[in-house]
């Protein structure tokens, strides 16, 4: 199982710790389960801190942290590291150009009109991840079906290579979406400055805490979660994430990554128990 006795566990939320529609109490097949809650209790009883790492806004992650008794929160895909119940925080701006100093990355992107131009280049394939996008300051929160690497090339050709499009995994289609019909599930994307990542935020947090990265474990389900591997001793990817097209090869290229036997919360519980 590639066990690492953890001194701290960093975990993604959606599709990892919580399952369908953000439920902590349902399996990927929507059956009721107490397994993730039992594993969380075991983690807390062992005295191992839990830090939530998510693409959600800081307020959302801090609130979730209260529910799960987490010891810290990393929000907007690594843009903000917080602790002490959200009272202390550190903002990370990555490769935001000096000419935009004093602006949030979203303010810089709005001034450049880059999101609107990107959507126009991908009609029916990309839209705001409404209504959740409205409160993001560091990243443009989008949804759709595009090739993130091709978008990065498109950005570089326009002198915007300091930006990157991060794929944060698949979501369920809903009636509020206006995307073109497609059998493939839509995905969530974060358009943000390079240098901001879950891994970079974890590395900063571990240094603040004085914990050796080799003693840290991370759990996730998406391409953006693979960035956590370099900052920790062991990265677990839940089975649902590993099943996504192209993920198997990417996971195989990460020496300290392993895949759980079960998806979503049940897989998360397996990863937690392998870390005790």
Residue 194 burial (10 A CB sphere; 0-12, 13-18, 19+): middle
Q: What is the pLDDT of residue 61?
A: 96
Counting Cα atoms < 13 Å in the Cβ hemisphere of 241 gives 34
Q: 68-120: per-residue pLDDT in tens?
A: 999 999 998 899 999 999 999 998 989 999 999 889 999 999 999 999 999 99
What mean pLDDT is predicted for residues 260-272?
98
Q: What is d(CA 102, CA 233) in angstroms, rounded to the nearest whole number?
A: 36
Q: Which residue, among 13, 12, 56, 19, has the nearest Cα to 35 in the 3D structure?
A: 19
pLDDT over threshold 80, residue 1: no
Q: What is the pLDDT of residue 3?
A: 60
pLDDT over threshold 70, residue 6: yes
pLDDT over threshold 70, residue 35: yes
What mean pLDDT is predicted for residues 188-215?
96
The sign of the torsion formed by the CA atoms of 52, 56, 62, 66 equals negative
What mean pLDDT is predicted for residues 112-141?
94
Q: What is the pLDDT of residue 117?
A: 97
Six-digit token string for 179: 């995307």
Provide Rg for the chain, Cα atoms: 18
pLDDT over threshold 60, residue 267: yes
pLDDT over threshold 90, residue 55: no
Q: 167-200: per-residue pLDDT in tens?
A: 988 888 888 899 999 999 999 999 999 999 999 9
Who contacts 70 (Cβ-Cβ below 8 Å, separation ≥6)?
A: 49, 50, 51, 52, 64
Taking the alpha carbons at both ends of the chain, their separation in whole angstroms is 12
Q: What is the pTM of this model?
A: 0.84
What mean pLDDT is predicted for residues 45-62?
95
More confident residue, 84 or 4: 84
pLDDT over threshold 90, residue 253: yes
- Go through the chain and tell me how many residues it has: 276
Q: Do 73 and 84 meet the contact criterion of CB atoms below 8 Å apart?
A: no
Q: What is the pLDDT of residue 224?
A: 86
Q: What is d(CA 143, CA 159) in angstroms, rounded to the nearest whole number?
A: 23
User: What's the mean per-residue pLDDT of the chain?
Assistant: 94
Q: What is the pLDDT of residue 2?
A: 54
pLDDT band at 5 (very low <50, low <70, confident <90, very high): confident
Six-digit token string for 159: 């002198």
Alpha carbon of 135 to those of 28, 58, 60, 76, 150: distances in Å? 29, 10, 10, 10, 27
pLDDT band at 223 (very low <50, low <70, confident <90, very high): confident
What mean pLDDT is predicted for residues 18-34?
95
What mean pLDDT is predicted for residues 247-255?
96
More confident residue, 77 or 210: 210
Kindly report the three-state secondary structure assignment for every residue of the chain. Answer: CCCCCCCEEEECCECCCECHHHCCCECCCCCECCHHHHHHHHHHHCCCCEEEECCCCHHHHHHHHHHHCCCEEEEHHHCEEEECCCCEEEECCCCCCHHHCCCCHHHHHHHHCHHHHHHHHCCCCEEECCCHHHHCCCCEEEEECCCHHHHHHHHHHCCCCCEEEEEEEECCCCCCCCCCCCCCCCEEEEEEECCCCHHHHHHHHHHHHCCCHHHEEEEECCHHHHHHHHHCCEEEECHHHHCCCCHHHHHHCCCCEEECCCCHHHHHHHHHHCCC
């Amino acid at each position: 199982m590639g066990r690492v006795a953890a001194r701290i566990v960093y975990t993604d939320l959606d599709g990892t710790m919580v399952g369908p529609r953000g439920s902590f109490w349902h399996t990927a097949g929507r059956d009721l389960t107490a397994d993730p809650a039992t594993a969380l209790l075991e983690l807390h009883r062992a005295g191992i801190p839990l830090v939530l790492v998510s693409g959600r806004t800081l307020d959302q992650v801090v609130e979730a942290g209260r529910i799960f008794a987490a010891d810290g929160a990393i929000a907007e895909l690594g843009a903000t590291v917080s602790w002490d119940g959200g009272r202390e925080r550190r903002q990370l701006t990555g490769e935001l150009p000096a000419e935009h100093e004093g602006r949030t990355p979203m303010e810089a992107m709005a001034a450049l009109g880059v999101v609107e131009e990107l959507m126009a280049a991908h009609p029916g394939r990309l839209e705001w991840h409404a209504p959740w996008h409205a409160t993001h300051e560091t990243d443009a929160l989008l949804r759709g079906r595009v090739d993130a690497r091709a978008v990065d090339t498109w950005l570089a050709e326009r002198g915007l290579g300091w930006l990157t499009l991060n794929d944060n995994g698949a979501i369920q289609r809903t009636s509020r979406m206006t995307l073109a019909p497609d059998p493939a599930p839509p995905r969530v994307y974060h358009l943000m400055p390079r240098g901001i990542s879950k891994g970079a935020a974890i590395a900063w947090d571990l240094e603040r805490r004085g914990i050796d990265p080799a003693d840290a474990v991370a759990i996730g389900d998406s391409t953006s979660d693979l960035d956590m591997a370099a900052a920790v001793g062991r990265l677990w990817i839940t089975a649902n994430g590993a099943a996504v097209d192209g993920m198997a090869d990417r996971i195989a290229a990460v020496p300290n990554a392993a895949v759980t036997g079960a998806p979503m919360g049940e897989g998360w519980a397996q990863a937690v128990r392998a870390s005790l």
